[in-house]
Amino acid sequence: MKIRSRFKFSVLFLYSLLFSALLSAPLVYAELPEAVTTKKEMVVTTNPLATAAGEKILRNGGTAADAMVAVQSVLGLVEPQSSGLGGGAFVVYYDARKGKLTTFDAREKAPASATGDRFSELGFVEAWQSGLSVGVPGTPRMMEYVHDKYGRLPWRKLFKPAIKLAQKGYPLTGRTSEQVQDLLSRNAACDDRLYFRDPTAFEYFANADCTAKAEGTMMFNQPYADTLKKLRKKGADGFYSGDIAEAIAAATQGDLSIAGDMTVEDLANYNVVEREPVCLDYRGHNVCGMGPPSSGALAVGQILGILENFDISGDPLAVENVHLFTQAGRLAFADRGKYVADSDFVEVPVDGMLNKDYLATRAALIDPEMDMGTASPGVPPGVIELAAADVTAKNSGTSHVSIVDQWGNALSMTTTIESSFGNGVMVHGFLLNNELTDFSFSAEDSEGVPIANRVEANKRPRSSMSPTIVFDEDGRLEIVTGSPGGSRIIGYTAQSIMNIIDFGLDPQEAINVPHYMNRNGRTDVEIPIVDVTLDYDAEALALSLKELGHSDPSVPLEDRSVGVITQTSGLSIIQVVRKSRGHGHHHNNYGDEEEEDVNDEVIEEVEEADELVEIEELPEDTLTDNVSAKVSAKGASKNRGRHGYYKRHWRNHYRTTLVGGGDYRRDGTVGGR
């Protein structure tokens, strides 16, 4: 098994510039994680067991689609607060053989009986912890849909790592335990619970005295294993019909807090939608992601498109760079709130929002020396339908996966059950989502203008998930990125791209830079984390920003507010680095360092994890029915098959290295060979 579960530390780099006049000495940096390099394939997730499962599938000849199924199955077990079978996902997929990029919308849907006043009398917590918040899950259908289209290994083989972990046990992570305890502590009393009111979920995550099970507790989930076995045997239909579908409908309708209205018919009617990607050229790089109902690609694209009108260089933490990024964020979130919703229900001006002339006019609103305050939405070309703004910015429990396989196929997936532990109800070993709280709680504004993101029957709520794939100036795969983090996902993802393209950082260096953003409200900067992020004076940066008017230029300096807070991203980044064969020219930002196959040095570090997810070696001709290519023992193409042909082609004329970074703010882990 070749996977780096904890990276070796080294000094990343030193900046020579001062932060501002307030800083009297150069910044001092701690030893930080370094990037991981591989030569054939790579998977990055927020959990080492999930990464191990994906890496094993890739080693056995699986595609990025195959690895995704295994990874998602494990994530739903070992990181249940963030994603799972009871939730939804967005996938951006690059098919190297065809040179085609596509996206898959597996966002949860409102039941057929949903109406605009669904949450009008409820506060967020009441809505969250109820049956009304549960959307029809999309993840199982997406897993099957993407595998049918791009998978290579048999469907039944992909669930073995997760089934084995569920039956033989896995250690509860500290992050999961802490989040359980946080929710339990909010209850009025142990026998009067809103959080973990569901007896099954309570018994699984908590002790009888209403304390969370401790980090390291061995967890067993036979119902989850049984659910995966049913998926393995019957496909997604085994989830969307029969006893699992009946149990989901019964759990929502019988919620112990507020009953919901999902039916088995709602589940049977769920569909995944394949949509065109939304792309923007940023300084010669084609940045592509998920369009509506996600606001991700539009908001990330607007931030970058606005920044393209400025010189972004020097220190990523220089106050002038931070200021420009926050102003671009204000403008993007203003448009997001007004225009973005499910495009099957409302007309979203996608092209207009990313029009370069329009973005230049938005950029002209930025004063490099003063915060603009709350930004108003613009009027992009193509706006026809009037809609009121939904300016809510919700946090959520989410995870992100980035994969590149040996054929050059790439997958970027952000997957979620919305808030931490979804709506708190467990069915057949997995948690249900509370995704419908991403809708506006009001159907119209005070003047009676309909809100684009209002609740409607069978509609998908707006999302901030931003799975992204970037191509270089020659149209070649360059970056796969994305993050969890609620509406902060947009800032995390845009910053990761800016860090790589504008500041020349590698993926791990890009992750190590502390976050900063503005979602058209307060500007926030991240508290530095020892051995995880660059060390810097966050309070000094906050003061410098206040002097620039943040976050309200209309009030005196002493009344201005800049948040210095924790910003728990979970970035998973892969960069494809090419060096011309025999010419010594690098198509990257890293100079002429020797490529390092770090994975050979860390095999022993993951012996135990390898044993946990071990699956049988598959014959070289074990393919799904829709693939005719066969791969030799060394993996070289013998036929011009679906994936085998491109194994050589995507690396032709270049020495290709995959450079990966995982986010230590969570349990970011890189695997590959």
Helix (H, G, I), strand (E, B) or coil at 55: helix
CB 338 within 8 A of CB 348: no
Neighbour tally for 438: CB within 10 Å: 27
CB 498 within 8 A of CB 326: no
Helix (H, G, I), strand (E, B) or coil at 485: coil
Residues 6+ apart with CB under 8 A from 75: 45, 46, 47, 50, 82, 83, 84, 399, 401, 415
The closest alpha carbon to 545, from 373, 372, 371, belongs to 371
User: How far is residue 625's CA from residue 623's CA, in Å, rounded to a whole number?
Assistant: 6
Helix (H, G, I), strand (E, B) or coil at 309: coil
Helix (H, G, I), strand (E, B) or coil at 236: coil
CB 166 within 8 A of CB 228: yes
Active site residue 398: yes
Please pick, among 63, 139, 263, 398, the residue that the annotation labels catalytic.
398
Residues 6+ apart with CB under 8 A from 556: none
Q: Is the sign of the CA dihedral 480, 485, 489, 493 positive or negative?
A: negative
The closest alpha carbon to 541, from 325, 397, 241, 289, belongs to 325
CB 131 within 8 A of CB 258: yes
The closest alpha carbon to 231, from 46, 86, 131, belongs to 86
User: How far is residue 368's CA from residue 661's CA, in Å, rounded to a whole number?
Assistant: 32
Residues 6+ apart with CB under 8 A from 250: none
Query: Quick one: 185 exposed, middle or buried, by C-beta within 10 A (0-12, 13-18, 19+)?
Result: exposed
Neighbour tally for 465: CB within 10 Å: 31
User: How far is residue 244's CA from residue 189's CA, in Å, rounded to a whole number?
Assistant: 31
What angle in degrees, to the nearest 10, is found between the helix axes of 319-339 and 489-501?
140
User: How far is residue 187's CA from residue 181's CA, in Å, rounded to a whole number?
Assistant: 10
The closest alpha carbon to 31, from 673, 534, 467, 653, belongs to 534
Residue type, 591: G
Which residues on adjacent β-strands are paired with residue 626? none
CA 421 to chain centre: 16
The closest alpha carbon to 109, from 461, 487, 463, belongs to 461
DSSP string, 386-419: --B--------EEEEEEEE-TTS-EEEEEEEEES
Strands (DSSP E) contained in 116-238 are 170-171, 218-219
User: How far is residue 307's CA from residue 360's CA, in Å, rounded to a whole number?
Assistant: 9
Q: Is the sign of the CA dihedral 654, 11, 485, 521 positive or negative?
A: negative
| Cis, bond preceding 551 (omega within 30 deg of 0) | yes
Angle at 62 (CA atoms; ends 56, 66), nearest 5 degrees: 95
CB 23 within 8 A of CB 540: yes
Q: What is the largest CA-CA distance in the chain?
A: 71
User: How far is residue 120's CA from residue 443's CA, in Å, rounded to a whole number?
Assistant: 8
Give the catalytic positions in this structure. Answer: 398
